[in-house]
Amino acid sequence: MQMIPILVKNRITTTAAAAKPELSLGHKLNLTENSIGGNIKMSRSSYVRVKAVNNCLSGSGLCGRLTSLQGKKMIALLPLVAVIAAIFVYFYYMKWRDQWVRSRPFPEEWLAYLTEALAVYSCLSLQEQHRLRQLILVFLARKRFYGCAGLVVTDQMRVIIAAEACLLLLNHGWAVYPKLSSVLIYPSAFRVTREELQPDGVVKSSEHHVLGESWGSGRVILSWDDVESGATDFTDGHNVVLHEFAHQLDAESGTTNGAPRLRHNTYKSWSKVFMENFEDLRERSRRHQTTVMDTYGATNPAEFFAVATETFFEEPHQLYETRPELYNELCQYYQLDPRHWHPKGASQNTHTPYK
Write out pLDDT tens, residues 309-329: 999 999 999 999 999 999 999
pLDDT at site 209: 76
The overall longest dimension of the chain from CA atoms, in Å, is 132
Q: Is the pLDDT of residue 84 over 60?
A: yes
Residue, of 210 and 38, whose pLDDT is higher: 210
Q: Is the pLDDT of residue 164 over 60?
A: yes
pLDDT at site 230: 96
Distance CA 161, CA 147 (A): 13
Q: Is the pLDDT of residue 167 over 80?
A: yes
Q: Is the pLDDT of residue 13 over 60?
A: no
Q: Is the pLDDT of residue 82 over 90?
A: no
Residue, of 47 and 101, whose pLDDT is higher: 101
- Of the candidates 319, 268, 274, 269, the one whose C-alpha atom is nearest the C-alpha of residue 293 is 319
Q: Is the pLDDT of residue 50 over 80?
A: no
Distance CA 23, CA 340 (A): 98
Decide if 213 contacts 244 (C-beta within 8 A): yes
**Angle between the N-to-C axes of helices 108-117 and 155-167, in degrees from 0 to 180, rounded to the nearest 10:** 70
Residue, of 37 and 245, whose pLDDT is higher: 245
Q: Is the pLDDT of residue 193 over 50?
A: yes
pLDDT at site 38: 45
pLDDT at site 39: 46
Distance CA 122, CA 99 (A): 25
Range with the lowest mean pLDDT among 51-65, 268-282, 296-310?
51-65
Identify the architecture of domain 108-341 in CATH.
3-Layer(aba) Sandwich (3.40)
Mean pLDDT, residues 18-42: 44
Tell me the pLDDT of the chain averaged across its residues: 80
Distances 281 to 71, 74, 111, 289 between C-alpha atoms, Å: 65, 61, 39, 9
Band (345; pLDDT cuts 50, 70, 90): low
Residue, of 32 and 64, whose pLDDT is higher: 64
Band (172; pLDDT cuts 50, 70, 90): confident
Decide if 180 contacts 246 (C-beta within 8 A): no
Mean pLDDT, residues 15-22: 43
Residue, of 338 and 195, whose pLDDT is higher: 338
Burial of 299 (0-12, 13-18, 19+ CB in 10 A): middle
Q: Is the pLDDT of residue 355 over 60?
A: no
For 336, other C-beta atoms within 10 Å of its C-beta total 21
Q: Is the pLDDT of residue 16 over 90?
A: no
- The domains of the chain are located at 3-58, 68-103, 108-341
